[in-house]
Structure 1
Amino acid sequence: MAEFTLHPRLEDSSVFVCDLDLCQVRLNFDGDLDWLLLIPRRAGLEELIDLDDKDQAQLVKEVNFVSRVLKDEVRPDKINVASLGNQVPQLHIHVIARYKNDRAWPGATFGHPPINEFDEQRAEFWKQKLGLGLN
Protein backbone atom coordinates (compact mmCIF):
# COMPACT_ATOMS: atom_id res chain seq x y z
CA MET A 1 0.00 0.00 0.00
CA ALA A 2 1.29 3.47 -0.91
CA GLU A 3 2.28 5.85 1.87
CA PHE A 4 0.90 9.32 2.44
CA THR A 5 3.06 12.04 0.96
CA LEU A 6 2.28 15.73 0.96
CA HIS A 7 1.91 17.39 -2.43
CA PRO A 8 4.93 19.68 -3.00
CA ARG A 9 2.75 22.73 -3.59
CA LEU A 10 1.04 22.26 -0.21
CA GLU A 11 4.40 21.79 1.46
CA ASP A 12 5.85 24.90 -0.18
CA SER A 13 2.87 27.14 0.61
CA SER A 14 2.24 26.22 4.25
CA VAL A 15 3.84 25.24 7.54
CA PHE A 16 3.11 22.16 9.68
CA VAL A 17 0.91 22.80 12.72
CA CYS A 18 -0.07 19.37 14.06
CA ASP A 19 -1.39 15.94 13.25
CA LEU A 20 -4.94 15.06 14.26
CA ASP A 21 -6.22 11.48 14.08
CA LEU A 22 -6.79 11.64 10.32
CA CYS A 23 -5.46 14.93 9.05
CA GLN A 24 -2.25 16.84 8.99
CA VAL A 25 -3.05 20.46 9.84
CA ARG A 26 -1.01 23.18 8.16
CA LEU A 27 -1.10 26.99 8.19
CA ASN A 28 -1.05 28.69 4.80
CA PHE A 29 1.72 31.27 4.33
CA ASP A 30 -0.71 34.20 4.43
CA GLY A 31 0.14 37.25 6.49
CA ASP A 32 -3.44 38.49 6.63
CA LEU A 33 -5.65 35.50 7.37
CA ASP A 34 -5.69 32.52 9.69
CA TRP A 35 -5.94 30.04 6.81
CA LEU A 36 -5.64 26.43 7.91
CA LEU A 37 -5.43 23.35 5.70
CA LEU A 38 -6.51 19.85 6.69
CA ILE A 39 -4.93 17.10 4.61
CA PRO A 40 -6.09 13.53 5.26
CA ARG A 41 -3.03 11.31 5.73
CA ARG A 42 -4.10 8.70 3.21
CA ALA A 43 -2.37 7.98 -0.10
CA GLY A 44 -3.96 8.78 -3.44
CA LEU A 45 -6.92 10.87 -2.29
CA GLU A 46 -8.32 13.48 -4.65
CA GLU A 47 -12.01 13.73 -3.74
CA LEU A 48 -14.06 13.46 -0.55
CA ILE A 49 -15.71 10.37 -2.04
CA ASP A 50 -12.29 8.66 -2.07
CA LEU A 51 -12.49 8.40 1.73
CA ASP A 52 -14.35 5.49 3.28
CA ASP A 53 -17.35 6.25 5.49
CA LYS A 54 -15.35 6.11 8.72
CA ASP A 55 -12.70 8.52 7.42
CA GLN A 56 -15.38 10.85 6.01
CA ALA A 57 -16.96 11.05 9.46
CA GLN A 58 -13.55 11.67 11.05
CA LEU A 59 -12.79 14.41 8.53
CA VAL A 60 -16.04 16.20 9.39
CA LYS A 61 -15.18 15.88 13.09
CA GLU A 62 -11.74 17.40 12.51
CA VAL A 63 -13.06 20.23 10.29
CA ASN A 64 -15.58 21.02 13.04
CA PHE A 65 -12.85 20.95 15.70
CA VAL A 66 -10.57 23.31 13.76
CA SER A 67 -13.51 25.59 12.92
CA ARG A 68 -14.56 25.81 16.58
CA VAL A 69 -11.04 26.65 17.69
CA LEU A 70 -10.79 29.32 14.97
CA LYS A 71 -14.13 30.78 16.04
CA ASP A 72 -13.19 30.81 19.73
CA GLU A 73 -9.66 32.17 19.27
CA VAL A 74 -9.93 34.82 16.53
CA ARG A 75 -13.67 35.63 16.42
CA PRO A 76 -14.09 35.83 12.64
CA ASP A 77 -17.21 37.17 10.96
CA LYS A 78 -17.37 33.95 8.92
CA ILE A 79 -15.48 30.69 8.59
CA ASN A 80 -14.99 29.54 5.01
CA VAL A 81 -14.60 25.78 4.47
CA ALA A 82 -13.70 24.62 0.98
CA SER A 83 -12.26 21.74 -0.99
CA LEU A 84 -11.31 22.78 -4.50
CA GLY A 85 -8.35 20.86 -5.88
CA ASN A 86 -8.21 22.69 -9.19
CA GLN A 87 -4.50 23.49 -8.78
CA VAL A 88 -3.47 20.83 -6.24
CA PRO A 89 -5.16 17.48 -6.86
CA GLN A 90 -4.40 16.04 -3.40
CA LEU A 91 -7.49 16.18 -1.18
CA HIS A 92 -7.18 19.07 1.24
CA ILE A 93 -9.73 21.20 3.05
CA HIS A 94 -9.32 24.96 3.51
CA VAL A 95 -10.64 26.36 6.80
CA ILE A 96 -10.28 30.14 6.71
CA ALA A 97 -11.19 32.80 9.28
CA ARG A 98 -12.78 35.67 7.33
CA TYR A 99 -13.56 39.24 8.30
CA LYS A 100 -15.76 41.87 6.70
CA ASN A 101 -12.69 44.09 6.39
CA ASP A 102 -10.29 41.49 4.93
CA ARG A 103 -8.67 41.96 1.52
CA ALA A 104 -11.20 39.92 -0.45
CA TRP A 105 -14.47 40.21 1.50
CA PRO A 106 -17.11 39.27 0.48
CA GLY A 107 -15.47 37.35 -2.35
CA ALA A 108 -13.17 34.34 -2.26
CA THR A 109 -9.64 34.73 -0.88
CA PHE A 110 -8.17 32.70 -3.73
CA GLY A 111 -6.39 34.93 -6.24
CA HIS A 112 -5.97 37.82 -3.78
CA PRO A 113 -2.36 37.86 -2.57
CA PRO A 114 -1.66 38.75 1.06
CA ILE A 115 -0.88 42.34 1.94
CA ASN A 116 1.25 41.50 5.00
CA GLU A 117 4.25 39.21 5.42
CA PHE A 118 3.69 35.80 7.01
CA ASP A 119 4.59 35.74 10.71
CA GLU A 120 6.02 32.46 12.07
CA GLN A 121 4.50 33.33 15.45
CA ARG A 122 1.06 32.58 13.96
CA ALA A 123 2.21 29.02 13.33
CA GLU A 124 3.38 28.73 16.93
CA PHE A 125 0.05 30.14 18.13
CA TRP A 126 -1.90 27.51 16.16
CA LYS A 127 0.46 24.73 17.25
CA GLN A 128 -0.43 25.58 20.85
CA LYS A 129 -4.15 25.93 20.21
CA LEU A 130 -4.63 22.89 17.96
CA GLY A 131 -1.80 20.66 19.13
CA LEU A 132 -3.87 19.15 21.92
CA GLY A 133 -6.15 17.59 19.32
CA LEU A 134 -9.73 16.55 19.88
CA ASN A 135 -9.42 15.79 23.60
Structure 2
Amino acid sequence: MRGFALDPRLARDTLPVMALGLCDLRLMNDSRWPWLILVPKRPGITEMHDLTPLDQAMLTFETSLVAGCMKIMLKAAKLNIGMLGNVVPMLHLHIIARQPGDTNWPGPAWGVGTAQPYPDDEAMRLVDLFREKILAQ
Protein backbone atom coordinates (compact mmCIF):
# COMPACT_ATOMS: atom_id res chain seq x y z
CA MET A 1 0.00 0.00 0.00
CA ARG A 2 1.41 3.36 -1.05
CA GLY A 3 2.45 5.48 1.94
CA PHE A 4 2.36 2.60 4.43
CA ALA A 5 5.41 2.21 6.66
CA LEU A 6 5.65 -0.19 9.58
CA ASP A 7 6.14 1.54 12.92
CA PRO A 8 9.82 1.19 13.92
CA ARG A 9 8.90 -0.35 17.29
CA LEU A 10 6.88 -3.10 15.59
CA ALA A 11 9.74 -3.65 13.13
CA ARG A 12 12.21 -3.93 16.04
CA ASP A 13 10.09 -6.24 18.24
CA THR A 14 8.65 -8.59 15.60
CA LEU A 15 9.71 -10.88 12.78
CA PRO A 16 7.91 -11.03 9.42
CA VAL A 17 5.81 -14.14 8.79
CA MET A 18 3.87 -13.32 5.62
CA ALA A 19 1.69 -10.81 3.82
CA LEU A 20 -2.05 -11.46 3.84
CA GLY A 21 -4.64 -9.60 1.79
CA LEU A 22 -4.89 -6.63 4.18
CA CYS A 23 -2.31 -7.27 6.86
CA ASP A 24 1.32 -8.03 7.40
CA LEU A 25 1.51 -10.98 9.77
CA ARG A 26 4.39 -10.78 12.24
CA LEU A 27 5.73 -12.92 15.09
CA MET A 28 6.42 -11.11 18.35
CA ASN A 29 10.02 -11.95 19.23
CA ASP A 30 9.19 -13.09 22.76
CA SER A 31 9.47 -16.81 23.42
CA ARG A 32 7.33 -16.69 26.57
CA TRP A 33 4.18 -16.96 24.46
CA PRO A 34 3.34 -17.79 20.84
CA TRP A 35 2.28 -14.27 19.81
CA LEU A 36 1.31 -13.08 16.34
CA ILE A 37 0.49 -9.55 15.27
CA LEU A 38 -1.65 -8.44 12.33
CA VAL A 39 -0.81 -4.99 10.95
CA PRO A 40 -3.23 -3.57 8.36
CA LYS A 41 -1.17 -2.09 5.52
CA ARG A 42 -3.00 1.23 5.51
CA PRO A 43 -1.21 4.52 6.22
CA GLY A 44 -2.35 6.74 9.08
CA ILE A 45 -4.80 4.26 10.62
CA THR A 46 -4.91 4.12 14.43
CA GLU A 47 -8.37 2.68 15.18
CA MET A 48 -10.47 -0.09 13.62
CA HIS A 49 -13.24 2.37 12.78
CA ASP A 50 -10.69 4.32 10.66
CA LEU A 51 -10.65 1.39 8.22
CA THR A 52 -13.15 1.21 5.38
CA PRO A 53 -16.03 -1.24 5.93
CA LEU A 54 -14.40 -3.67 3.48
CA ASP A 55 -11.06 -3.44 5.32
CA GLN A 56 -12.87 -3.98 8.64
CA ALA A 57 -14.36 -7.18 7.21
CA MET A 58 -10.94 -8.26 5.91
CA LEU A 59 -9.34 -7.64 9.31
CA THR A 60 -12.05 -9.75 10.96
CA PHE A 61 -11.54 -12.53 8.40
CA GLU A 62 -7.74 -12.50 8.73
CA THR A 63 -7.98 -12.44 12.53
CA SER A 64 -10.25 -15.49 12.50
CA LEU A 65 -8.01 -17.30 10.02
CA VAL A 66 -4.83 -16.73 12.05
CA ALA A 67 -6.51 -17.34 15.43
CA GLY A 68 -8.07 -20.59 14.24
CA CYS A 69 -4.70 -21.84 12.99
CA MET A 70 -3.01 -20.89 16.25
CA LYS A 71 -5.68 -22.57 18.39
CA ILE A 72 -5.36 -25.86 16.49
CA MET A 73 -1.58 -25.82 15.88
CA LEU A 74 -0.64 -24.93 19.43
CA LYS A 75 -3.55 -26.63 21.22
CA ALA A 76 -4.07 -23.32 23.04
CA ALA A 77 -6.36 -23.32 26.05
CA LYS A 78 -7.27 -19.69 25.31
CA LEU A 79 -6.41 -17.02 22.77
CA ASN A 80 -5.93 -13.45 23.93
CA ILE A 81 -6.87 -11.09 21.09
CA GLY A 82 -6.61 -7.35 21.46
CA MET A 83 -5.87 -3.96 19.99
CA LEU A 84 -4.33 -1.68 22.59
CA GLY A 85 -2.28 0.93 20.77
CA ASN A 86 -1.27 2.87 23.87
CA VAL A 87 2.47 2.53 23.14
CA VAL A 88 2.36 2.00 19.35
CA PRO A 89 -0.63 3.94 17.98
CA MET A 90 -0.44 2.33 14.49
CA LEU A 91 -3.40 -0.05 14.25
CA HIS A 92 -2.24 -3.59 14.98
CA LEU A 93 -3.94 -6.61 16.48
CA HIS A 94 -2.32 -9.07 18.91
CA ILE A 95 -3.18 -12.78 19.00
CA ILE A 96 -1.52 -14.63 21.87
CA ALA A 97 -1.86 -18.37 22.51
CA ARG A 98 -2.15 -19.08 26.23
CA GLN A 99 -1.89 -22.19 28.39
CA PRO A 100 -2.47 -22.70 32.12
CA GLY A 101 0.89 -22.31 33.82
CA ASP A 102 2.45 -20.03 31.19
CA THR A 103 4.11 -16.79 32.25
CA ASN A 104 1.57 -14.73 34.24
CA TRP A 105 -1.37 -17.15 33.64
CA PRO A 106 -4.23 -16.31 33.99
CA GLY A 107 -3.21 -12.64 33.96
CA PRO A 108 -2.44 -10.65 30.82
CA ALA A 109 0.67 -11.00 28.67
CA TRP A 110 1.01 -7.26 28.11
CA GLY A 111 3.56 -5.42 30.21
CA VAL A 112 4.79 -8.47 32.11
CA GLY A 113 8.52 -8.91 32.66
CA THR A 114 11.10 -8.64 29.92
CA ALA A 115 10.81 -10.15 26.46
CA GLN A 116 12.87 -13.30 25.93
CA PRO A 117 13.81 -13.36 22.23
CA TYR A 118 13.67 -16.63 20.33
CA PRO A 119 16.89 -18.31 19.32
CA ASP A 120 17.24 -17.68 15.57
CA ASP A 121 16.57 -21.30 14.58
CA GLU A 122 13.41 -21.50 16.73
CA ALA A 123 12.08 -18.21 15.37
CA MET A 124 12.56 -19.36 11.78
CA ARG A 125 10.97 -22.74 12.57
CA LEU A 126 7.89 -21.00 13.98
CA VAL A 127 7.69 -18.51 11.10
CA ASP A 128 7.85 -21.37 8.57
CA LEU A 129 5.28 -23.41 10.50
CA PHE A 130 2.80 -20.53 10.76
CA ARG A 131 3.26 -19.66 7.09
CA GLU A 132 2.70 -23.28 6.03
CA LYS A 133 -0.42 -23.77 8.17
CA ILE A 134 -2.01 -20.46 7.20
CA LEU A 135 -1.39 -20.98 3.49
CA ALA A 136 -3.00 -24.44 3.78
CA GLN A 137 -6.31 -22.86 4.85
TM-score (norm 1): 0.91
CA distance 1:10–1:117, shift in 2 (3 Å): closer
Size of the alignment, in residue pairs?
A: 133
Q: SS at 2:103's partner residue?
A: coil
Cα distance in 2 for residues equivalent to 1:124 and 1:47:
30
Is the Cα–Cα contact under 8 Å of residues 37 and 94 in structure 1 kept in the other structure? Answer: yes
Is the Cα–Cα contact under 8 Å of residues 40 and 59 in structure 1 kept in the other structure? Answer: yes
Q: SS at 2:81's partner residue?
A: strand
Q: Sequence identity of aligned pairs in percent?
A: 37
Is the Cα–Cα contact under 8 Å of residues 32 and 114 in structure 1 kept in the other structure? Answer: no
In structure 2, list runs of 5 or more residues that go unmatched. Answer: none
In structure 1, list runs of 5 or more residues that go unmatched. Answer: none
Cα distance in 1 for residues equivalent to 2:89 and 2:133:
28
Q: 1:91 maps to which residue?
A: 91
Q: 1:56 maps to which residue?
A: 56
TM-score (norm 2): 0.90
Query: 1:1-135, aligned counterparts within 5 Å?
Result: 3-113=3-113, 117-118=117-118, 119-120=122-123, 121-130=125-134, 132=135, 135=137
**Aligned-residue RMSD, C-alpha:** 1.7
